[in-house]
Amino acid sequence: MNVSILGCGWLGKPLAVSLLDEGFTVKGSTTSEEKLETLAFLDIDAYLVDITSFEEFDDFLNTDILIIAITCKDVDAFENFISQIQNSPVQKVIFISSTSVYGRINKVMTEEDIVLETPITEIENLFRENTFFETTIIRFAGLFAGERHPANWFKNGRKIPQPNGFVNMIHQEDCIEIIQEIIDQNCWNETFNACSNHHPTRKEFYINARKSKGFKLPEFEENEIYQWKIISSKKVQQTLDYTFIHDDLLNI
């Protein structure tokens, strides 16, 4: 099966390598000419794709499954790109979204909850409403792994807000496994939250993260309104029979 990954960055590149290992033929895109050689070295069929350029990307879209893993929130660019997808061989789309679509309203958030009116939710709806292909939307929580370690965040004396709020995070490895399970199980026309089941307070989490690297302990903003959200991943676990690999956020 052929897969194209729009955005071979922090998540897309290791996802491409994992799919290659599973026997898929993989096309991958970047907006940087310098990165084309890096992708080609990994046996990824590399393309220069910037959807905000409003160019035609016929060769890149000559594929069975398209995975969209870019941070672009340009609604007009996505409208144009979707018109290209619907006139291509693409049959299935995975759109990587974010749990930032939910407001902090002091409750556990599921896929049934109302989302904020933002460009990313507008783009989600463009994919959801298109009948020329099937789309599954994954709303990932905060991403971490490797150099993207929470101990490295909020540096240079920046105080961490909402210390009594709860952490919603997911490891890169779980992201990749969930995407592969969606493809393997043919699970389309769904919207999933994807987040570790463990939700320590932000204070616990960041203190632990700094200690794990031997860094100076962080400072927190203490005098603020208490607002939080907890992201539920029950649906993705039940639908895909998925067990998180990294489900203890105090052991990272």
What is the pLDDT averaged over residues 185-209? Answer: 97
Q: Residue 180 — pLDDT band, cuts 50, 70, 90?
A: very high
User: In the chain, pLDDT over 90 holds for what percent of residues?
Assistant: 95
Count of structural domains within the chain: 1
| Residue 27 forms part of a structural domain | yes
Q: Residue 109 — pLDDT band, cuts 50, 70, 90?
A: very high
pLDDT(1) > 90: no
pLDDT(194) > 90: yes
| Residue 217 forms part of a structural domain | no
User: What average pLDDT does the chain have?
Assistant: 96
| Residue 248 forms part of a structural domain | no
What is the pLDDT averaged over residues 6-29? Answer: 98
- What is the sign of the dihedral through the CA atoms of 186, 192, 198 and 202? positive
Please give the structure tokens belonging to residue 209: 């993260």
Cα separation, 94 vs 61, whole angstroms:
14
The number of residues in the chain equals: 252
CATH number at residue 139: 3.40.50.720
CA angle 127, 128, 134 (to 5 degrees): 80
| Residue 47 forms part of a structural domain | yes
The whole-model pTM stands at: 0.96
| 55-75 per-position pLDDT tens digit | 999 999 999 999 999 999 999
| 201-246 per-position pLDDT tens digit | 999 999 999 999 999 999 999 877 788 999 999 999 999 999 999 9
| Residue 246 forms part of a structural domain | no
- Taking Cα atoms as reference points, which of 87, 90, 12 lies closest to residue 56? 87
| Residue 59 forms part of a structural domain | yes
With a CB cutoff of 8 Å and minimum separation 6, the contacts of 83 are none
pLDDT(197) > 80: yes
| Residue 163 forms part of a structural domain | no
User: In the chain, pLDDT over 70 holds for what percent of residues?
Assistant: 100
Strands 65-68 and 134-140: unpaired
What is the span of the domain harbouring residue 59? 2-145+171-198+230-240
| Residue 19 forms part of a structural domain | yes
